[in-house]
Structure 1
Amino acid sequence: MKKKVFIYLVIAAVMINGVYRWAEKTSRYEYQRQAGDRYTSFEELKAHEKDSYNIDYHEEAGSDCLIFSPHGGRIEGGVSELVRAFNDDFSTYLFEGRKAENNSDLHITSTNFDEPLAMQKIKEHRYTIAFHGYSGDRPHTLVGGTDRRLAKAIVRSLKKSDFSAELVKVDGKFAGTDSENINNESQTGLSVQLEISTAQREDFFEDFSYKEREDTKTRKFYRYVRAVRKVLEDKC
């Protein structure tokens, strides 16, 4: 009798766990719909947006770090330029929106972003450094990720270079610590995520328009890149 009760309890626990996982995934899906993402996977996006995006991957031999963003080009302005600034020493990946308008349609949140090349290359590197943009009217950077030591070091380096920055709490918004976040699919599972405000990204260019950004980088842009690079050189 006791053995049967034990078996029933095990079965019940498994069923409850399964329901919980289903509910968790369903709630994430619904959250993304409510949050405004048009697509919840790359295959879904690809089926509707054939010529609306560009994928750019640069392989740097010996690089343990992959510097990347799933929201480059016209999705989150200024992010592509930052990622490409690391091309000389690190591997980089960019998913870039290039529509004339409505590039927010191409935004897939990091927990859902599953473009095959990105998934492959992230798994081939030991660490990931992700650049993102958020809407904010003061120059500021929110630094998160699973590698808390490296994230803290980047915050310190940015502050020493006269930039406003803070470490995001592990369970905070923009934390980048979710196990399903593509940032955390690297060989070690260690990542850093930099969320950069609109105002800060605008400060990096004399002209923030898509076509002019590349040729109008300011001193702040290069100072910011140096501050991050200085920390990564010891890690990657």
Structure 2
Amino acid sequence: MGTSRRVFLGLIAATPLLTRATTTAQAAGYATYSDLYRDPALREGVDWGRRMLRHTAFGRTAVFAPHGGGIEPGTSELCLAIAGYHPATLQPSGQTHDHWMFEGLRSSGNTELHVTSTGCDDHYARSLAAGALNAVALHGCSVTEAERNWRPLPDPACALVGGANTDLRTRVINALTGAGIAAVDASTHPTLDGGAPGNIVNRTLLGAGVQVETTTPLRAGMFTTNTAAQRKNTTTQLFWDFTTAMRAAVAGLEATQPIL
């Protein structure tokens, strides 16, 4: 026989519970950006946004901030500056690079928008990485996350440098250290190593890039007013020392590579 009226009404009554369960699961994180983009509960320009730029001339290095805005605060500004653009004015200076960032735009709750770097299936981001020899991705982490199941950091304000490009990884560590910024090789870190082939930073023509995890104290020292509205306007000398070191490391590697 067909479904009884009681069972039918029971199914209807259960629907909101299923919806709430699905929403709760999504709040714990999205597997891919496609999953996030498809969520009807989220609005582009309200909950999240993207900023990107591809130059007409071939660029050997692309810069990424997969968790910008309020997700890992400060990484959007670092992405722009390392790509050669002032985070406040967007004026270019020196060598510029293609870049892409995903940003949490909420006043709170942005961590719910976190997508792992291996789940970065955004077509524009994938295209930029696939067309570049090198890639740099800026991330943020807490000191607790950095030290968990690993080892104590030399300084709470520290950069953990991972990714599959061993040459660029060494150059970045040396450049940051030379600028007086604590930096460690994170290639052996259990969760922040950035070495997975599917990581957006390693989807380059060479199959390798560098992932830079910046601790909360390090990023906090880069801005005198660490808010979404004012970070871009209140960058400190530490911010520019970090940016200059990163750009020097990239330029040094590019100088050894052929012009394609």
- TM (norm. structure 1) is 0.81
- 2:175 aligned partner: 157
1:110 paired to 2:117: yes
SS at match of 1:67: strand
Secondary structure at 1:111 match in 2: helix
What secondary structure is seen at the aligned counterpart in 2 of 1:190?
coil
Which residue number corresponds to residue 43 of structure 1?
34
Aligned to 1:58: 53
Question: Over residues 11-50 of structure 1, what are the superposed CA-to-partner deviations in whole Å (9 max), with x where a residue is unaligned?
Answer: xxxxxxxxxxxxxxxxxxxxxx99x842111121112222
- Relative distance call for 1:70 and 1:116 in structure 2 (3 A) is same
Q: Which runs of 5+ in 1 are unaligned?
A: 1-32
Supply the distance in 2 between the matched residues of 1:121 and 1:198 (Cα, whole angstroms): 28
Deviations 1:194-226 (A, max 9, x none): 000000001000011111100000011111101
The alpha-carbon deviation at position 111 of structure 1 amounts to: 1.1
Q: CA RMSD in A?
A: 1.8
Separation (CA, whole Å) in 1 of partners of 2:245 and 2:80: 15
Structure 2: gaps of 5 or more residues: 1-23, 85-91, 145-155, 255-260
Residue 131 in structure 1 maps to residue 138 in structure 2: yes
How far did 1:156 drift?
A: 1.0
Residue 191 of structure 1 is matched in structure 2 by 209
Q: How many residue pairs were aligned? A: 203
The residue that corresponds to 2:15 in the other structure is: none
Give secondary structure in 2 for the equivalent of 1:178: coil
Task: Write the deviation string for residues 149-190 of structure 1: whole angstroms up to 9, x where unpaired.
Answer: 210111011111110110113464311111221211111112
Q: Distance in 1 between matches of 2:116 and 2:193?
A: 13
- Cα distance change, pair 234–141 in 1 and its aligned pair in 2 (3 A): same
Change (3 A) 1:122 1:43: same
CA distance in 2, matches of 1:128, 1:107: 20
Task: Give the 3-state SS of the residue equivalent to 1:84 in structure 2.
Answer: helix
Contact between 1:37 and 1:108, CA under 8 Å: does it hold in 2? no
| Cα contact 2:161–2:187 (8 A) shared by 1 | no
Which residue in 1 is equivalent to 2:97? 90
- What TM-score results when the alignment is normalised by the length of structure 2? 0.74
SS in 2 for 1:223: helix
* Partner Cα separation in structure 2 for residue 204 and residue 166 of structure 1: 19
Instruction: Kindly provide the amino acid, as one letter, of the partner of residue 108 in structure 1.
Output: V
Q: How does 1:201-212 map to 2 (within 5 A)?
A: 201-212=219-230
Looking at structure 2, the residues matched to 100 and 45 of structure 1 have their Cα atoms a distance apart, in angstroms, of: 18
CA contact (8 A) 2:158 2:183 kept: yes
Counterpart in the other structure of 2:20: none
Partner of 1:19: none
1:120 counterpart residue number: 127
Q: Give the match's secondary structure for 2:119.
A: coil
